[in-house]
Amino acid sequence: MTTETDQTEEKLSAERLERLNANMARIDELTKRMVAAMGRRKQSDPGLQGPGQDMYVKAAAAYMAEMMSNPAKMIEQQVGYWGKSLKHYAEAQQQLANGKLSPPEDTGPSDPRFKNELWDSNPYFNFIKQQYLHSSEAITQAMDDLPQLEGADKSRVSFFARQITDMLSPTNFLATNPDALTKAVETDGESLVRGLENLVHDIEHNEGDLLVSLADEKAFKVGENIAATEGSVVYRNRMFELIQYKPSTDKVKETPLIIFPPWINKFYIMDLKPKNSLIKWIVDQGYTLFIVSWVNPDETYRDVGIDDYVDDGYLTAINEVKKITKQDQVNAVGYCIAGTTLSMVLSLMEKRGDTSIKSATLFTTLTDFEDAGEMSVFLDDDFVDGIERQVAERGYLHSYFMSRTFSYLRANDLIYAPAIRNYMMGEAPPAFDLLYWNGDSTNLAGRFVVDYLRQLCQQNQFAKGTMEILGETVSLDTVQTPLCAVACETDHIAAWKGSFNGVKQMGSEDKTFIVSQSGHVAGIINPPSKKKYGHYTNPKISGEPDAWMDAADFNEGSWWPRWEKWLESRSGGEIKARKPGIKSHPVLEKAPGTYVLPKEAAE
């Protein structure tokens, strides 16, 4: 005769078996979808998948040379590594011999990847963690201590060695991740099935390639809850849509302001939530604001190069703003790559005697690529040759490759942590507007991306004064426009020191340089209301970057008000606020326009 308890256990067992069978059916269906999605993957050039063999040969040769010339040093490194490993193993064995099911005391540095208490309290997980950290330290030290490698070669070897150690972290594998294992047990494997669903979704979304979703794509809609500052498209050509924003003040400054965002990403990084929107803040300060929304290139833009972006982009946009506002001059802003190109436009205009730009502001902009920061590891011929072959075949560089490249600069934060959350924990990506924008990247026109990488990044032609734009040779020293440059202290894309060195060489007598705390995006999108990141100022723009920083003043809070005060003094008097569009430039549609939308939405 069964008891009530037996019946309850049988019922629970039956329910678990039913869930298991349902999950197995879902896994079978998802596996078929994943195979089908991966079958749609287009082949890409091998040069885009990793560094060329030359780097490995150089690293191996340098290691062998060091081993032959300084064997004592190499033996010392090996002994140090094995000594740490054996010491930890012996300590763990001693704990067990004493009847303690606990690891030895962990005195190593904290690592955000190992937050779960089991990494410190459980002997199994603690041993795996410690062995991984010892191994990573040994590999990193071995690569850093190769005197035969110098400069770019050493930076590349160290960077890709770090990529390998980051990839091999035990947190990235189910069998050695206590968080994922615990959740799998607690959910009877449901978390793993949801994780597989997330994985299949990402592979399908990227046409067979894998790019981890960073944000909930359903949580945001461009033009509704992001990129929602009120405005209108007042001009459009094959390169861009020109948006004019509706004024929020009765009076505005006489001189209009136009922003050129980077065409690697979309302009609404400056117009996320209203409280973080630089665009809304500028409008609220009483400026007639225009912004360029670049087209997302496809194969028909194969032959579009830097000249086209300058002529059909910058020069055209500036002239249209002048017509709409009936002004002879504009103030201009360029962000990242758009700041680089704006700087070349300033030089071009100086050569032509064109005074259309009254003042210029550069956000996180490199103009001298002698020191390209962390991005330099991707600027050698092995990668650039691969890109050149890829765009020769397709006509453009797919956004996937740029997104992946930038993600690897912060792999733990932008690849592995999101992958663990999405695929191993089975959690949905967060509803985070900044990460949504980060995943909404754009393609690059074929000729442009090759010319930019060859002429600017590799050959540094602008800084050397050999760059040709629309038949004119442009250079840093011919930039005479009043200038304000804002760099970011921890920028991994446009290092602040490189930005400083470029601005230092510009010919303008009126130059302001500001370094904001934080990185490429957070340092720029830093509204005063947050009271979060401060900034550094020093009026003397000369000498070495470190000396400039040592003598700089630290200022609490956002740099936005300081910049606005600088801009106001170059924006003329106040006039009645301008409504978007005029008779010759009627409103075409509401902001944010169509170029910023995903292709399926635009169609």
The number of CA neighbours under 13 Å toward the Cβ of 550 is 6
Alpha helices in 309-445 (DSSP H): 316-325, 337-352, 381-394, 399-408, 411, 417-419, 433-439
CA distance 162 to 151: 17
Q: Has residue 508 been placed in a domain?
A: yes
pLDDT of residue 585: 96
pLDDT of residue 7: 62
Beta bridge partners of 241: 236, 293
Tokens 């075949």 sit on residue: 393
Q: Has residue 91 been placed in a domain?
A: yes
- 472 and 352 in a common domain: yes
Q: Domain end: 160, 176, 192, which one?
A: 176
- 236 and 172 in a common domain: no
- String of b and e for 474-487 (b: at least 16 CB within 10 Å)? bbbebbbbbbbbbb
Range of the domain at 271: 231-373+467-579
Q: Has residue 495 been placed in a domain?
A: yes
- 235 and 160 in a common domain: no
User: What CATH number is attached to the domain comprising 237?
Assistant: 3.40.50.1820
- 289 and 169 in a common domain: no
The closest alpha carbon to 317, from 267, 271, 251, belongs to: 267
pLDDT of residue 11: 65
pLDDT of residue 260: 98
Catalytic residue selected from 336, 457, 484, 488: 336
Q: Has residue 184 been placed in a domain?
A: no
pLDDT of residue 575: 97
Q: Are 141 and 74 in contact (CB under 8 A)?
A: no
Q: Is cis: bond before 482, omega within 30 of 0?
A: no
Q: Has residue 28 been placed in a domain?
A: no
pLDDT of residue 101: 60
pLDDT of residue 536: 98
- 239 and 135 in a common domain: no
- 368 and 264 in a common domain: yes
109: helix, coil or strand? coil
The closest alpha carbon to 469, from 335, 306, 349, belongs to: 306
- 354 and 240 in a common domain: yes
pLDDT of residue 1: 46
Q: Has residue 593 been placed in a domain?
A: no
Q: Has residue 520 been placed in a domain?
A: yes
- 146 and 78 in a common domain: yes
Told to judge if 336 belongs to the known catalytic residues of this protein, a careful annotator would answer yes
Q: What angle do CA 481, 554, 336 make, to 5 degrees?
A: 40
CA distance 424 to 211: 15
Q: What angle do CA 518, 439, 427 make, to 5 degrees?
A: 95
Stated pTM of the model? 0.88
Q: Domain end: 176, 200, 217, which one?
A: 176
- 244 and 104 in a common domain: no
Q: Are 516 and 524 in contact (CB under 8 A)?
A: yes
- 237 and 96 in a common domain: no
Contacts 24+ apart (CB under 8 A), 320-323: 320/234, 320/235, 320/242, 320/585, 321/242, 321/256, 321/258, 321/290, 322/356, 323/584, 323/585
The residues of the chain scoring below 70 in pLDDT are 1-12, 48, 56, 58, 62-63, 66-67, 72-77, 79, 81-83, 85, 88-89, 91-93, 95-109, 599-603
pLDDT of residue 108: 61
The 8-class DSSP code of residue 218 comes to T
Query: Domain total for the chain?
Result: 2
pLDDT of residue 89: 67
